[in-house]
Amino acid sequence: MTEEIFPGVELGEGTVVEPGARIGVPPRGAAPGELPTIIGPGSRIRSGTVIYAGARIGARFQSGHGAMIRENNVIGDGCSVGTNAVLEPGNRIGDGTRVHSHCFLENVTLGRRVFLGPGVVFTDDPHPPCPRYDECVGGATVEDDASIGGNATILPGVRIGARSLVGAGSVVTRDVAPDTVVAGSPAREKRKTSELVCAPGHFAKPYEWREALDS
């Protein structure tokens, strides 16, 4: 088994493409090489990954096995997309963001250093498809440093504020304020992130380490 790299693919220096990966696959209606595909330096594309032509990915990118990244995705530096995650067209992902295994995103905007736990699903269609689909609500927006627990579902058009935390298994039906913890179905505010406690006692408060990085 060998990797398959289509015309029009630009791989940065030191990027490794493992056997079985396919890079620059032309989307429907496009010829091979018609849309440029860019992957920055120092990246690793693991076996089974499929990246369509028209994707633009920054430096130090990591993909899990079997990840799929469709056309018209823009991914920043230092990001990862986990095993069997699916990025449909139209996502914008900021630097340092981690998309864990089995996530599903379409038309989603993620800020910097966002964390998505395994199995997080974003929806962008408020009802079954219709001829005016493109005029509907669209995908969610997640601001910088927000974290979303595993198996959460995020409904169309929702905005999740910076530094917020969404509990595992939650269904987010409305906007989440910055610095807020929400959980449940539908997700409701539980407390502020400043009220959280570091259970093992490694830090005086959760995310203290992040503040040190930002200083």
Show which residues are catalytic.
127
Sign of CA dihedral 135, 35, 87, 145: negative
Q: Is the peptide bond before 186 cis (omega within 30 degrees of 0)?
A: yes
Q: Is the dihedral of CA 166, 167, 169, 175 positive or negative?
A: negative
Beta bridge partners of 109: 92, 141
User: Distance (Å, rounded) from C-alpha 27 to C-alpha 89?
Assistant: 10
Cα separation, 31 vs 7, whole angstroms:
10
Instruction: Tell me how crowded residue 78 is: count the other CB atoms within 10 A of its CB.
Output: 20
Helices (H) and strands (E) in the chain, counts: 1, 27
Q: How far is Cα 21 from Cα 72, in angstroms, rounded to an integer?
A: 19
**3-state secondary structure (DSSP) of residue 10:** strand
Cα separation, 106 vs 119, whole angstroms: 14
